[in-house]
A and B are shown apart, each in its own frame.
Chain A
Amino acid sequence: MSENEGKAIQVPEQEVITKDEMERTRERQCYVPKTDIYETEQDIMVIADIPGASKESIEITLEKDILSINAFANPVFHEGFKLAYSEYEPGDYQRSFRIATEIDHDKIEATVINGELRLRLPKAEAAKARKIQVKAG
């Protein structure tokens, strides 16, 4: 990852959810949050960019092997000001992942700092133990 250091940031393209399996009740733009996923020996880390969504608005569910992230950003209004120029539209975030590894549901940790959601999904003991060492005979 270190080769990114010092490089100029390009404008990321925002992917908008236009059609979904379910109709949305909120008349807001809904984005697919930019997400990194990596796996260490103990955990699966899911890191998503959700600028504008407060800590209280984030809903994370893990049902069977489907991890769903829902985050809601409230519309921004500045009293006495009018929006003169706009390059982005604040919106909600929604994304689901299928997690292939068994996860210890009780030890999932989620933190959000500066619009960055970090999910730590510890692998279940059973999944870790399933690794079979091959001994050279």
Chain B
Amino acid sequence: MYRRFRVPSIWREMDQLQREMNRLMKSSLEPRYIGPRSFPAINVWTSDDRQIITAELPGFDAEDIGINVSADLLVLSGERRSDQIDGEMQLHRQERTFGKFSRSIQLPFMVDTNKVQANFKDGVLEVYLTRAEADNPKKIEIKVV
């Protein structure tokens, strides 16, 4: 009697353990942050008819960053120039990267190019995009006959 009671309880515990393990594995396999596809890494914020695209561009000058929007394509480009040092110097460590980049981002809507705004603060670029009026979904009224 005692044994028959004990054995199923162990199996129940095993089942629960398995469920718990599955849950843990599943959550760890779904990363919150996707690695960058190409330079620069971007974050996309959305609302109904607007979108904000942010990118970390440390050491870039605002004048050296290009933002081009046409229809539903945003192209970010730029160049980071390396330091110009006069005279003799000894390099101990170089981890920062320099050079050119260009990245195209497909947007979910046609953009009103007159309303594109961008700011660049502390090395972080923010591009504000607004959906074009013509691209807005048209609401169809149902006529009651």
Contacts and interface: CB of A to CB of B under 8 A. Distances in A.
Interface residues of A, number: 45
A137 interface: no
A85 B43 contact: yes
B52 A9 contact: no
A1 B82 contact: yes
B112 interface: no
A41 B82 CA distance: 20
Nearest to A118: B83
B120 A47 contact: no
Given A52-B122, A116-B123, A87 B93 contact: no
A102 interface: no
B95 A114 contact: no
B85 to A, nearest CB: 7
B35 interface: yes
Interface string B7-44: 00000000000000000000000001111111101111
Contacts of A10: 39, 97
Interface stretch (B54-62, B67-75, B135-143): B54-62
Nearest to A78: B45
Given A9-B101, A53-B122, A38 B95 contact: no
B34 A114 contact: no
A11 B120 contact: no
Nearest to A117: B58
Contacts of B33: 86-89
